[in-house]
């Protein structure tokens, strides 16, 4: 009987996941909010004796399920981004300026801010750093409402290969590219927390961490991602025998193979696999930027991501009504409120300050665009992975409290960001229209 109910719940939830995006697009409601609610109701139902939704009791499953969800989302984000990243082009680097600012300024400020706040409120230093590192990355899984829609595969023929495909929405580009990169870049700080908890004072491991965890592994992740993406681009589009080109066959499963190859090779080499998967997708896009095959792969990855996200949100919702929040306290509320309302918006706002230049793409953002980009740093599945990973590699004081606070942060983020994103994006469109009219009249 119990397994029959599981099938019914999963089927009903999957129908909701397919139906809801269209149904709620005009309302201050998001699909993740509804799925969390369904999961919470499921968690209140009678369960077989001895069964629990506690993530600590199923740590291995939670670790690998969240890992797979983030990996699939990172491939989807990399395939969806249209703006090229040419390593030898200064113009290309400048076009990614909002991303670099969010990563180099907003993310470290967020980690420092949450760490200091947690330490001030009485957390052990390694615990405070782990909490900050786990909450540092914005989520490519739950932030679909503020991300780019997907790869463009048709461009005006009169445009050149250098300019024919690009992003038109700076806010969506900044948030999407940030989410694609900061999942991998949070890893060094998670490792710092692990080293602090297991080896003591940073004076014992600080230089090793700086050279290897912060620099070496990031460089390896980028390098392997570039190589794998370049090789796969050649296989997909440039093989001499046309019948062997997967791009012409339109086989979307190759995107899943790309995830596995890139992630496995990078982890085997000792680098950051999350970073490599995103870079692989971006490198593959350079082969034939406007080819229909990218849309096919992205559609397949998007469906797989929906299924994995569905499972994770149902489990999180069920855990929320089965004790995962029981160790959250006033400190949890203060930290989460500070992160969502002050630390992330303030740090991102500072990072994006700059002169608006309408002749130089992405050098600056309008005031309205900066506000939206600063506020919508959605926290999600990546945070679950990092907590599961870290607590499996070292003992942290207050690990139950950590799990409760992370779950609380994700739920609050889903509700706050999910309930405000529709009116906020509608306001932004009106703001842009008025801005264009003002420029036309000037």
Q: Which residues of 138-163 are buried (b: 16+ CB within 10 A; e: fewer)?
A: bbbbbbbbbbbebbbbebeeeeeeee
pLDDT for res 143: 65
Token pair 């390694």 in the structure block, residue: 126
Mean of pLDDT values over 390-413: 94
Distance of CA 259 to the CA centre of its chain: 15
The region of weakest confidence among 46-50, 162-166, 322-326, 391-395 is 162-166
Mean of pLDDT values over 158-184: 76
* Residue from 10, 123, 144 nearest 69 by CA: 144
pLDDT band of 163, cuts 50, 70, 90: very low
Identify which has the larger pLDDT, 280 or 146.
Answer: 280
Those residues whose C-beta lies under 8 Å from the C-beta of residue 191, and which sit 6 or more positions away, are 209, 213
Are 352 and 370 spatial neighbours (Cβ–Cβ below 8 Å)? yes
Mean of pLDDT values over 175-184: 91
Distances (CA, A) of 208 to 126, 165, 205, 215, 221: 17, 42, 5, 10, 18
pLDDT for res 361: 43
pLDDT exceeds cutoff 60 at 367: yes
Q: What are the φ/ψ torsions at residue 354 (nearest 5 degrees)?
A: 170, 165
Are 178 and 109 spatial neighbours (Cβ–Cβ below 8 Å)? no
pLDDT band of 362, cuts 50, 70, 90: very low
pLDDT exceeds cutoff 60 at 210: yes
Token pair 């980028």 in the structure block, residue: 222
C-alpha to C-alpha distance for 75 and 183, rounded to whole angstroms: 12
pLDDT band of 357, cuts 50, 70, 90: very low
- The 10s digit of each residue's pLDDT in 60-99 is 999 999 999 999 999 999 999 988 888 888 888 888 999 9
Distances (CA, A) of 100 to 16, 47, 371: 36, 47, 17
- The 10s digit of each residue's pLDDT in 308-325 is 888 899 899 999 998 899
Token pair 């599945």 in the structure block, residue: 381
> pTM here?
0.90
3-state secondary structure of 327: coil
* Residue from 372, 380, 346, 412 nearest 117 by CA: 346
Identify which has the larger pLDDT, 89 or 121.
Answer: 121
Mean of pLDDT values over 214-234: 95
pLDDT for res 378: 87
pLDDT for res 289: 78
Q: What share of the chain is helix, strand, coil (3-state, %, to 5)?
A: 70, 0, 30
């Amino acid at each position: 009987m119990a397994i029959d109910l599981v099938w019914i719940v999963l089927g009903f939830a999957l129908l909701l996941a397919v139906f809801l995006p269209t149904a709620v697009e005009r309302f201050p409601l998001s699909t993740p909010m509804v799925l969390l609610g369904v999961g919470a109701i499921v968690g209140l139902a009678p369960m077989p004796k001895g069964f629990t939704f506690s993530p600590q009791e199923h740590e291995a499953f939670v670790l690998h399920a969240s890992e797979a969800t983030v990996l699939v989302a990172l491939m989807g984000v990399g395939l969806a981004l249209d703006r090229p990243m040419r390593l030898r082009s200064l113009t290309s680097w400048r076009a990614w300026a909002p991303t670099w600012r969010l990563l180099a300024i907003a993310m470290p400020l967020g980690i420092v801010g949450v760490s200091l706040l947690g330490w001030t409120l009485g957390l052990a230093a390694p615990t405070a750093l782990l909490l900050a590192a786990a909450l540092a990355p914005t989520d490519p899984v739950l932030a679909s409402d503020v991300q780019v829609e997907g790869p463009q595969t048709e461009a005006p023929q009169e445009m050149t290969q250098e300019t024919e495909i690009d992003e038109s929405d700076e806010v969506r580009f900044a948030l999407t590219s940030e989410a694609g990169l900061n999942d991998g870049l949070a890893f060094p700080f998670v490792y710092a927390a692990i080293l602090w908890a297991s080896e003591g004072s940073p004076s014992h491991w600080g230089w090793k961490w700086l050279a290897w965890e912060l620099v070496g592994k990031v460089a390896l992740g980028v390098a392997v991602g570039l190589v794998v993406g370049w090789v796969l681009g050649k296989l997909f589009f440039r093989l001499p025998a046309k019948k062997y080109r997967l791009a012409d066959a339109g086989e979307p499963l190759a995107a899943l193979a790309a995830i596995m190859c890139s992630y496995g090779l990078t982890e085997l080499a000792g680098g950051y696999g999350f970073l490599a998967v995103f870079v692989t997708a971006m490198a593959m896009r350079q082969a034939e930027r406007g080819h229909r095959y990218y849309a096919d792969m992205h559609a397949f990855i998007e469906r797989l991501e929906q299924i994995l996200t569905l499972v994770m949100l149902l489990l999180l919702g069920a855990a929320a009504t089965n004790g995962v929040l029981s160790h959250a306290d006033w400190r949890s509320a203060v930290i989460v409120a500070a992160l969502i309302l002050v630390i992330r918006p303030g740090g991102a706002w500072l990072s994006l300050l700059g002169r608006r230049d309408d002749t130089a793409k992405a050098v600056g953002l309008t005031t309205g665009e900066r506000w939206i980009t600063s506020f919508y740093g959605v926290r999600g599945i990546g945070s679950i992975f990092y907590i599961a990973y870290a607590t499996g590699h070292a003992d942290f004081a207050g690990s139950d409290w950590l799990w409760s606070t992370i779950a609380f942060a994700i739920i609050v983020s889903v509700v706050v960001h999910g309930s405000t994103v529709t009116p906020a994006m509608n306001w932004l469109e009106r703001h842009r229209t008025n801005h264009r009219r003002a420029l036309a009249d000037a």
